[in-house]
Chains A and B, each alone.
Chain A
Amino acid sequence: MNDTALIKAAQKGDANAFERLLEQYYDSIFRFAMKWSGNRHDAEDIAQQVCLKLAQSLAKFRFEAQFSSWLYRIVINTAKDFHSREQRTATACVATPPAVDTGAEEAVILLHQILNKADSWGEGFKESLLLVHGEGLSHAEAAKILQVKESTISWRLHQVRKKLAAWQSANRCGD
C-alpha cells in the first residue's frame, strides 16, 4: 500500500493504516524536531504532539499538496508553538565545526546553535535553512511549505550563508 492509499484508508477511520503511516513517518518527524529543538527531550515531545495533531487533522488533508509538505508545515508549526510556550534557553556552546568522528549528539548541539543564530537574523531563516539544507528540498518546495515566494527563500539562504561566514570567522559564541 503506498502513501496515498494509506492516507485515504486512515481518513476513512482505519486505525491500522494510520498506525503504519505513523510508523513510517515518525523517524523523519523526530529527526526534524531534533534538529529544530536541539535536544532529545523536546524533540520527543514535539514528535508526539505532531502525531496527536495528525490524528486529529488527517481527515482535513485534501491531497492538494504533497503529504510530506503538509506534514512539514505541521511539524514546523508545532515546534514553533512548543518553543514559544516553553521559552527554552540555548544549550551548550560548541564553537568549531565537528570533526568527522564526533558524535551525532554534538552535531545536533552545534546545529541548534547555528539555527538559533539564523533565527535571530530574521523571520523564517531557521525554517528555510532546515528545509533546504537539512531536508534537501528545493527552494520551490520550501517556498510552498512556508507559503512564501521562491525568491524569498533564495534571499534568506543567501543572507544566512553570508552572515554565517562572518559569524564563524568572528568565532563568537552564544550571543
Chain B
Amino acid sequence: MNDDQLLSVFAKADEIHVDENKKTQAINTAIAEFSSAAEQKKTLNLFQGIVARLRPIFSQQVNDGRKDMKRENRKFVFGGVAGAAVSTFAWLVFVGNPDQVVTVEGDVNPAAQGQEIAATPKQSPVKFEDDTLRPENSDSISTLSDPSGSSENNSPPHEEADMGTQVELATEVEVAAELETAVDVSVDKVASSAPKQAESSALPSSMATTMAKSRLPAADRAPGANFRHAPTSREASAQVVPIPLPKPIDTLPANGYSEEGRDQFESLAENDVKLATEHPVSTFSVDVDTASYSFVRSALSRGVLPQKNAVRIEEMVNYFDYDYPLPGSRFQPFKPTVAVVDSPWAKEKKLIHIGIKGYDLAENTRRKVNIIFLLDVSGSMKAADKLPLVKQSLSMLLNVLKPSDRVGIVVYAGAAGAVLEPTPVSEKQKIIDAMNRLQAGGSTAGGEGIKLAYQLAEANFDKAAVNRIILATDGDFNVGIRNREELKGFIERKREKGIFLSVLGFGRGNYNDHLMQSLAQNGNGMAAYIDTLGEAQKVLVNEATSTLFPIAKDVKLQFEFNPATVVEYRLIGYETRRLQREDFNNDKVDAGDIGAGHTVTAIYEITPRGSSQRLVDDRRYDSKAPVVGRDDEYGFLKIRYKLPEADKSQLITHTVGVENQQNKLSTALQREINFASAVAGFAQLLKTSKYVGDWSYDKAIELAQSNKGADEFGYRTEFVQLIRKAKVAEAM
C-alpha cells in the first residue's frame, strides 16, 4: 500500500456522517457539566486571596503556611550542614598548618565564642551583633591581617563576611525559636557550629578572604531572606497554634485518607398500594428536610446514579419552594391547599396534592437566636467539601443574623472542646477568627461533642430566644456514645427543655444519612445536606428564617379515604415518616416541624372507583356490602400541629371533593403542582419505582421545563439539568 492509497482511505473515512442526535446529546451533557464546573469554580474563588492563604488547611493550597515552615526548616538544616562542612574543612587546613596563627586564636575567640553561645533565642539578634560582636571582630581582623602581611583591602570583605555569618546564625536562632519545632536539635547545631565558625575567623587571611568571598553571596542573601520570611512564619505559626482546648486535637498527616463508598442509608421499602376498603386511613408526619435532594445532585454531578436508598421522594419534592396560598396570621401558622389532578405517569389515576405553606415571619417580629455551632473537626472532615465548606457556610449564616443574636462554637474530634463562648454577632470578627483557626484531624467523638454543646446551650439558655444547636458533620460518630438509642434519648430529653438540634451534612464517602436523619428528627430540627456553597446559600441564607424559626411543631397529617369513591391509594414518599393511626391524636408522639415560610407537599396517588387500572381485584367472598353514600368526596384531611411553645395540639380539617380540578386551578397553582409532580416522578424513576409505568426522564424534563415559573434562584433550572444528567448516567 502506498501513500496515495493510504490518503484516499483517510479521505474516504472523513466522509463518515455525524449523527446529529448524538452530537446534541454530547453537547448537552457537556454543557450541564460545564455549568456545574463553573459553579464549583465560583465556590473555590470566593475565599481566595489573603484569606485562602491564611486558612490553615494543608491540602490543595499551594501557598500554605505549612510549606513555608517546611521550607524554612529545610533551609535551616541544609544551611547548618553546609556551614559545618565548610568549618570542618577550614579546621583541617588549620591543623595542617599549626604554626601560622596559633597565638591569635587564644586572644580573640574565647570571647566571641562565649558571646555566641550566650546568644539565647530571645535576644534581639541585630542588637547583639551591633553591640558586642563588631568591636571584638574588628580587633581580631586587625590582629589577623597583620602577621600574614596581606593588603588592607582584604579586611572589609572579611568583616562583612563575618558579620554576615553572624547575622545569618542569629536569624537562624530566631527562626528556630519561632518554629517551635526541632528546637533542641537546632540549638545544638547552632551551638556546635558557632565555635567552629569562630575558629574559622582565626584562619590565615588569604584563606579567610577566599572563604569570605565564597560566603559573601550567601551571607548577603541570608539575612534578607530570613527577615523577609520571618514575619510569614510568625503569621503561619500564629494561625496554626492550637486553639485553647481542654485537650489538644491530634492531627493527621497532610495527605489524610479519604473515604469512598461508605455512605450509609437506611433501607426502606417504597410505600405500596393500599386498599381503601381495608386501610382507609393513612397517617404520617411532615418532613421539611432536603438532604436527599442535595445528595442526589452531588451523585449525579459525578455522573453516577445515586443509591436508591439515598432518594427520599418527599425530600426531593420539598426541596423546592412552592407558591401556595399563604395563611393569614401566626396563630393559624399554615394553610393546606388541596388539589386533585390527573397523574402524569399513570392513566386513569389521580394525584391528590396536599400543599402546606407556613406563615412567614416578618423581619422585625423574629425572635433572638441563640446558636451553638457544633462542628466536627475529625480527620475525615479534611476534604475541601467538608470543613472549609462548613466555615464558609457558617460565615454566610453570620451575615443574616442580627447583631443581638449569639453564637458559640463547640468542636469535637478525638476530644470535645468549646472554642468560642456564646458571643454576640456584633463581634462578628471574633467569631470568624475562632472559626478560621479550626483545622481537621483525629477521630470522631460526636457524642461527647453533643453533650458539651448542650451544656453550653443550657448555660446560656434564653427563654425569649430560639435556642438551637447546629451540628455540622460528615456524620461519622466513631468514638464516644456508641449507642445511638442513648444518643437519641439524650437529644429528646433536651428538646423538651427547649433546645432544638438541626443537622447539616457535609461531604460524601463516609456520610451517615440515617443517623443524621434520626438525630434531626429527634431534636425537632431539620436535616440538610450541603454539597456546594450554593446549597449553603439556599439553606442558611435564603431560607434562614425557615431553618431557624419553627412556627409549628409535631405536625401530623391524617387522610381518610372514602371507599365509595377511591379503590386504591398510595402515599408517594414519606416512608421514614409513617405513623400509626392512633399516634395522630396522641400529643406525646413526636413528628416533624415546620419553619417560618417552609412549604411542605405530600402527594397521594389514587385509583378512583371505575378506573380500569386498579391493581387489586375485588374479593369474591367479601362479606361487606359495597360502600355507599357521600360519593362526592374522595376523602377527609386532618392536620394536627402544636405552636412552638404549646404542648396541646390543634386540628385543621379539609374535605376533598371528587371534582377534577385538572384545568380549573389558577395557572400559578397548576404550575406549582405540575412541577411538584415532575419532581416526584423523577424521584420515583431514580428509585426505580414499580408504579411509574413507562414514564421516562424525557417526560420528566418536559413537565419540569414547562412549569419552571419565575425560578428566581435558578433551582428549578438546575433540576431540569439534573434530570438530563440522570438520563446520561443511566445510559452509561
Query: Which chain A residues have a beta carbon within 8 Å of chain B's beta carbons?
Result: 10, 13, 15, 18-19, 22-23, 26-27, 30-31, 34-35, 40, 44, 47-48, 51-52, 54-56, 58-59, 97-98, 102, 104-108, 110-111, 114, 133-134, 161, 164-165, 167-168
Contact = CB atoms under 8 A, between A and B. Distances in A.
A98 B31 contact: no
Contacts of B15: 104, 107
A13 B38 contact: yes
Interface in B1-51: 1-3, 5-10, 12-19, 22-23, 25-27, 29-31, 33-35, 37-38, 41-42
B22 A161 contact: no
B13 A107 contact: yes
Contacts of B16: 31, 34, 40, 104-105, 108
Contact of A55 (B1, B8, B33, B42): B33
Contacts of A19: 27, 31
B7 A165 contact: no
B19 A44 contact: yes
Interface of B: 1-3, 5-10, 12-19, 22-23, 25-27, 29-31, 33-35, 37-38, 41-42, 303
Contact of A44 (B3, B22, B41, B303): B22
A47 B16 CA distance: 14
Contacts of A106: 12
Given A18-B30, A48-B30, 20 more contacts: A10-B34, A13-B42, A22-B31, A26-B18, A30-B23, A31-B14, A34-B16, A35-B14, A44-B19, A44-B26, A47-B22, A52-B30, A55-B34, A98-B12, A104-B15, A108-B12, A111-B13, A134-B13, A134-B14, A164-B6
B2 A48 contact: no
A97 B9 contact: yes
Contact of B1 (A51, A102, A164): A164
Contacts of A134: 10, 13-14
Contacts of B25: 48
B132 to A, nearest CB: 54
Contact of B30 (A34, A55, A97): A55
A10 B10 CA distance: 32
Contacts of A26: 18, 23, 26-27
Contacts of B2: 165
A57 to B, nearest CB: 9
A165 B3 CA distance: 10
A48 B29 contact: yes
Contacts of A108: 12-13, 16
A59 B41 CA distance: 10
Looking at B2, B13, B17, B35, the one whose CB has the most chain A CB atoms below 10 A away is B13
A85 to B, nearest CB: 12
A13 B194 CA distance: 58
Nearest to B35: A15
A52 B302 CA distance: 11
Contacts of B35: 15
B6 A114 contact: yes
A54 B5 CA distance: 34
Nearest to A160: B6
A98 B26 contact: no
Contacts of B26: 22, 26, 44, 47-48, 51
A157 to B, nearest CB: 9
A167 B6 CA distance: 13
14 contacts: A13-B38, A13-B41, A22-B27, A22-B31, A26-B18, A27-B18, A31-B13, A35-B14, A51-B29, A97-B1, A104-B15, A105-B16, A108-B16, A133-B7
Given A13-B38, A164-B1, A164-B6, A51 B30 contact: yes
Contacts of B17: 104
A114 B2 CA distance: 12
A54 B13 contact: no
Closest 6 CB pairs of A and B: A107-B12, A51-B30, A55-B34, A48-B26, A55-B33, A168-B1
Nearest to A112: B13
Looking at A19, A51, A133, the one whose CB has the most chain B CB atoms below 10 A away is A51
Contacts of A98: 8-9, 12
A10 B37 CA distance: 12
B317 to A, nearest CB: 28
A35 B33 CA distance: 26
B27 A51 contact: yes
Nearest to B19: A44
Nearest to A44: B22
Contacts of A52: 29-30, 33, 303
A133 B12 contact: no
B563 to A, nearest CB: 52
B19 A40 contact: yes
Contacts of A47: 22-23, 26
A56 B33 contact: yes
B37 A56 contact: yes
Contacts of A55: 30-31, 33-34, 37
A23 B28 CA distance: 11
Looking at B10, B19, B34, the one whose CB has the most chain A CB atoms below 10 A away is B34
Nearest to B11: A107
Contacts of A54: 30
A27 B15 CA distance: 11
A133 B34 contact: no
A107 B6 CA distance: 10
Given A15-B35, A55-B37, A165-B1, A102 B30 contact: no
A156 B264 CA distance: 53
Contacts of A110: 9
A102 to B, nearest CB: 7
A40 B33 CA distance: 24
A93 B731 CA distance: 30
Nearest to B21: A44
B9 A114 contact: yes
Contacts of A161: 3
Contacts of B22: 44, 47-48
A18 B31 contact: yes
Nearest to A105: B16
B10 A111 contact: yes
Contacts of A27: 18, 23
A167 B18 CA distance: 32
Contacts of A102: 12
Nearest to A31: B14
A58 B41 CA distance: 12
Contacts of B13: 31, 34-35, 104, 107-108, 111, 134
Contacts of B14: 31, 35, 104, 134
A47 B30 CA distance: 11
Nearest to A157: B3
A108 B18 CA distance: 13
Contacts of B41: 13, 59
A134 B5 CA distance: 12
A110 B19 CA distance: 21
Given A107-B13, A133-B10, A18 B23 contact: no
A156 B31 CA distance: 38
B8 A97 contact: yes
Contacts of B30: 18, 22, 48, 51-52, 54-55
Contacts of B303: 52
Contacts of A58: 34
A109 to B, nearest CB: 9
Contact of B5 (A13, A22, A97): A97
Contact of A15 (B18, B31, B42): B31
A122 B19 CA distance: 33
B45 to A, nearest CB: 11
A129 B666 CA distance: 65
